[in-house]
Amino acid sequence: MATITYPTLMEIDFGAIKQLGDALRRNNISRPLICTDKGIIDCGIFDTVRGVVPNDVTLTVYDETPGNPTERAVKDAARLYRENDCDGVIALGGGSSIDLGKAVSLSITHEGPIDNYSAINGGRDKIGAAPPIIAMPTTAGTGSEVGGGLVIITEEGKKTVIVSPNLIPKMAICDPDLTLGLPKQLTAATGMDAMAHCIEAYLTPIINPPAAAIGLDGLERVVTYLKRAVDDGQDKEARWNMMMAASEGAMAFAKGLGAVHSMSHAVGADETLRLHHGTLNAVLLPTVLRFNADHVGDKYVRLRRAMGLAEGADIAAWIEEFNHSINLPANLGEMGVTHEMIADLSDHCMTDACHFSNPKIPTVEEYHVMFAEAIGS
């Protein structure tokens, strides 16, 4: 059986932030909580967005979103929401701010620890109505603006996945102007996050041909435009296409994700390392592609076509070289991950929601091997 739904309303173009007032009115939001981070405040993006907010709208701002959003931050933001009698959420920033905004919306109408609503604990069936969310991405990576999924580090230190159609933003306002001049490293890391979404979603065994096709289209855009966006932060054509690719990656993972994300979530849960999710995905992708190679039929043939590679080309090796060309790390070892961490990281993977939709579900021992390869000597 194939279940196919694409309910997100998305506005994508330069100047799209001018749609914010209309989006607030249509969703009866007059006292929004803006979930964002200090970087968005400091670089002036917040002021740009505030300039298009109607005068009769009262803003409350939470700007303490961590690089990997946490349950503690969700509680702090939700407290602010309640104290100011807010009636909706504007999530402004990268995937972390958007995920945090979704988690705040969830916590306003749902009691108890956030892990109660994780995918692995049957959360999809427990999540009902929640306050409306307007998502405004400032990076081109996670695609969280068009999906109902989010990832949060619980108070117990576990990175958990939550998915519900009730957490899909009512509108995604995707303005590539907000990504112009994004630092090279962040452009590269978020762009590779989009690539990982497109590839992993396409490779899952779940049947959803529209999502598969969207993933391949997004992959082609990343391969074509990411290096351009890294090299020239003002390249408008590249920025528009990368923003589209990011959203397509999230549309594609209606098919699920896989072991790249299980492993990335495990490492990303370590708050001492504070590693970027997109960078982790970029570094882990070649290792998992080698693991999956014998379990995906002829799907690598279509991946090569979308990427413009020669017949029989080594996709994993190509991605390693591409990572190098955009100055991303060569392995997890360069990022501070050690062989002593492998056992705990592998155990974390076994209960991650993405683990169960990999083309071949790895054993804990196979995760040991993959982590060792990804860490390097």
| Residue 181: per-residue pLDDT | 83
Looking at the predicted structure, is the pLDDT value of residue 262 above 70?
yes
What is the structure's pLDDT at 8?
75
Q: Which residue has the tokens 């978020």?
A: 190
DSSP 8-state assignment for residue 147: S
Decide: helix, strand or coil at residue 139.
Answer: coil
Q: Which has the minimum average pLDDT: 18-22, 109-113, 155-159, 275-279?
A: 155-159
Q: List pLDDT tens digits, range 52-84.
A: 999 999 999 999 999 889 999 999 999 999 999
According to the model, what pLDDT value does residue 7 have?
Answer: 63
Rounded mean pLDDT of the chain?
A: 94
Query: Residue 329: CB partners within 8 Å, gap ≥ 6?
Result: 279, 283, 323, 335
Whose structure tokens read 């899952």? 204
Give Cα 375 distance to the centre of its chain.
Answer: 23
Amino acid 3: pLDDT: 47
- Candidates 358, 156, 370; CA nearest to 280 is 370
Nearest C-alpha neighbor of 28 from the set 145, 170, 166, 174: 170
CATH pick for 10-178 out of 3.40.50.1970, 3.30.70.890, 1.10.3210.10, 3.40.50.300? 3.40.50.1970
Q: Which residues contact 168 (CB under 8 A, 6 or more apart)?
A: 7, 8, 133, 146, 147, 148
Contacts of 337 (CB under 8 A, 6+ apart): 267, 273, 275, 345, 371, 374, 375
Q: Is the pLDDT of residue 246 over 60?
A: yes
Backbone φ and ψ of 151, nearest 5° = -130, 130
- Straight-line distance from the first to the last Cα atom of the chain, in angstroms, rounded to the nearest whole number: 44
What pTM was computed for the model?
A: 0.92
Q: What are the residue boundaries of the structural domains of the chain, listed by start?
A: 10-178, 182-375
Residue 335 CA to residue 374 CA, distance in Å, equals 11
Q: Which DSSP letter does residue 157 get?
A: S
Tell me the per-residue pLDDT of 109-126, one tens digit each, with 9 for 90 and over. Answer: 999 999 999 988 888 889
pLDDT above 90: percentage of residues in the chain: 88
Residues with Cβ within 8 Å of 314's Cβ and at least 6 positions away in sequence, in order, are: none
CA 331 vs. chain centroid, Å, equals 21
Model confidence at 5, pLDDT cuts 50, 70, 90, reads low
Reply yes or no on whether the pLDDT at 93 is more than 90.
Answer: yes
Mind listing the pLDDT tens digit for each residue in 157-170?
888 999 999 999 99
Report strand pairing: 88-93 vs 32-35. parallel
Residue 12, pLDDT above cutoff 50: yes
Q: How confident is the model at residue 260 (pLDDT cuts 50, 70, 90)?
A: very high
292-298's contacts with Cβ under 8 Å and 24+ in sequence apart are 292/203, 292/258, 292/259, 292/358, 292/359, 292/360, 294/360, 295/359, 295/360, 296/203, 296/359
Structure confidence at residue 201 (pLDDT): 96
Q: Is the pLDDT of residue 375 over 80?
A: yes
CA-CA distance, 161 to 149, in Å (whole number)?
Answer: 7
Position 1 pLDDT exceeds 50: no
Which ranges of 120-235 would DSSP assign to H, the alpha helix? 184-203, 209-231
pLDDT at 6 over 80: no
Task: Work out the percent of the chain whose per-residue pLDDT is above 70.
Answer: 98
Question: pLDDT tens digits, residue range 334-355?
Answer: 999 999 999 999 999 999 999 9
Same fold, 10-178 and 182-375: no
Helix/strand number for the chain, H first, E second: 14, 8
pLDDT at 254: 85
How does strand 10-12 pair with strand 32-35? unpaired
Tell me what pLDDT residue 4 has. 45
Which CATH architecture is the domain 182-375 placed in?
Up-down Bundle (1.20)
